[in-house]
Amino acid sequence: RKEVEQDPGPFNVPEGATVAFNCTYSNSASQSFFWYRQDCRKEPKLLMSVYSSGNEDGRFTAQLNRASQYISLLIRDSKLSDSATYLCVVNPNKLVFGAGTILRVKS
Amino acid sequence: NAGVMQNPRHLVRRRGQEARLRCSPMKGHSHVYWYRQLPEEGLKFMVYLQKENIIDESGMPKERFSAEFPKEGPSILRIQQVVRGDSAAYFCASSPGDRGGTEAFFGQGTRLTVV
Under an 8 A CB cutoff, do A31 and B100 touch? yes
Cα–Cα distance between B77 and A61 in angstroms, integer? 36
| pLDDT tier, B18 (very low <50, low <70, confident <90, very high otherwise) | very high
Q: What is the pLDDT of residue B20?
A: 98
Q: What is the pLDDT of residue A33?
A: 94
Q: Which of A37, A95, A101, A102 best tests the B interface by mutation, with the highest count of B CBs <10 A? A: A95
- The conformation of residue A3, written as its DSSP 8-state character, comes to S
Start-to-end CA distance of chain B, whole Å, equals: 36
pLDDT tens for each residue of B25-56: 999 899 999 999 998 888 999 999 999 999 99
**CA dihedral sign of residues B105, A8, B42, B54:** positive
Q: What is the pLDDT of residue B98?
A: 60
Q: What is the pLDDT of residue B101?
A: 59
Identify which of A97, A70, A68, A69 has the alpha carbon closest to the alpha carbon of residue A85.
Answer: A97
Q: Chain B closest CA to A6's CA: distance in Å?
A: 11
Pair type for strands A55-57 and A70-75: unpaired
Nearest CB to B48: which of A41, A94, A97?
A94
pLDDT tens for each residue of B67-92: 999 999 999 999 999 999 999 999 99
Q: What percent of chain A has pLDDT over 70?
A: 100
Q: What is the pLDDT of residue A93?
A: 82
Q: Looking at residues B53-60, what average pLDDT do you find?
A: 94
How wide is the angle at C-alpha B3 spanned by C-alphas A59 and B17, nearest 5°? 120
Cα–Cα distance between A104 and B114 in angstroms, integer? 32
pLDDT tens for each residue of A30-86: 889 999 999 988 999 999 999 888 899 999 999 999 999 999 999 999 999 999 999
Q: Which of B5, B40, B103 best tests the A interface by mutation, with the highest count of A CBs <10 A? A: B103
Chains A and B form CB pairs within 8 A to the count of 52
Q: Looking at residues B94-112, what average pLDDT do you find?
A: 84
Q: What is the pLDDT of residue B13?
A: 98
When computed from its CA atoms, the radius of gyration of chain A, rounded to whole angstroms, is 13
